[in-house]
Amino acid sequence: MVYVSMSGPQQAASPQEEVKIKLKHRDWEVEITCVESKVKQTVENVLSGIDNSTTLDTTLDTKISELKKDIEYLKLQISSGDINQISVLKNSMEPERKALQRGGTTCRGLLETLWYERYFETEKPLREVHEELSRRGYNYDRTAVSHSLTDMVRESILTRVGTMRNYQYIQKRPPSESQL
């Protein structure tokens, strides 16, 4: 929903007239004041910023919800006097999380799926990995793929060889049979 009001001299309209716009987009309500010639660009910038923050909020809310469930489950275990079961519980939760990530359509989840399928048994440049995801119908930005690959390198799932801007990614360790 958009409300527009123009202010400035009431006589002849000048190209530098100020425009006030009130935007309501999902849970956001924003008031913008700018010159008439910059309305389109300003509104596009504001809407893209709102969409980005909404995506981040949704992702964070999901992760927070998962952590709250884990904490509640651990509290129940501790209160029932089953402290020795905590390490067993922690290990039993790991495969469940892996399965959720593997089945998801996040960039990271798809890269883990490739890893589980042993796609990284041979060295692959970022370009090939990006093309493979596109071939499967997932069109992620190349930088998103690069960041997820870097995270997997940090976690010792993959390793990279080569020089900056020319890395090749290869599995550091294959998925174990229990993870398949």
Kindly report the average pLDDT of the chain as a whole number. Answer: 76
What per-residue confidence (pLDDT) applies to 158? 93
Are the C-beta atoms of 152 and 158 separated by less than 8 Å?
A: yes
Q: Is residue 94 part of a domain?
A: no
**Domain total in the chain:** 1
Helix/strand/coil for 172? coil
Tokens of 166: 């020319």
What per-residue confidence (pLDDT) applies to 157? 92
What per-residue confidence (pLDDT) applies to 52? 62
Q: Which of 179, 104, 180, 178 is nearest to 148 (CA)?
A: 104
Using alpha carbons, list the distances in angstroms from residue 103 to 9, 169, 172.
60, 22, 22
Q: What is the pTM of this model?
A: 0.43
Q: Is residue 120 part of a domain?
A: yes
Q: How confident is the model at residue 105 (pLDDT cuts 50, 70, 90)?
A: confident
145-170 pLDDT, tens digit per residue, is: 999 999 999 999 999 999 888 899 99
Q: Is residue 111 part of a domain?
A: yes
What per-residue confidence (pLDDT) applies to 171? 92
Q: Is residue 171 part of a domain?
A: yes
pLDDT surpasses 70 at 35: yes
Say which CATH number the domain at 128 has.
Answer: 1.10.10.10
Q: How confident is the model at residue 177 (pLDDT cuts 50, 70, 90)?
A: low
Q: Is residue 69 part of a domain?
A: no
Are the C-beta atoms of 34 and 19 separated by less than 8 Å?
A: yes
Are the C-beta atoms of 15 and 37 separated by less than 8 Å?
A: yes
Using alpha carbons, list the distances in angstroms from residue 165 to 49, 72, 144, 162, 169.
29, 44, 15, 9, 12
Cα–chain-centroid distance for residue 152? 15
40-51 pLDDT, tens digit per residue, is: 888 787 777 766
In which domain, by residue range, is 150 found? 105-180
Buried b (16+ CB within 10 A) or exposed e, 14-47: eeeeebebebeeeeeeeebeeebeeeeebbeebe
The 3-class secondary structure across 23-80, one letter per residue, is EEECCEEEEEEEEHHHHHHHHHHHHHHHHHHHHHHHHHHHHHHHHHHHHHHHHHHHHC
Q: How confident is the model at residue 38 (pLDDT cuts 50, 70, 90)?
A: confident
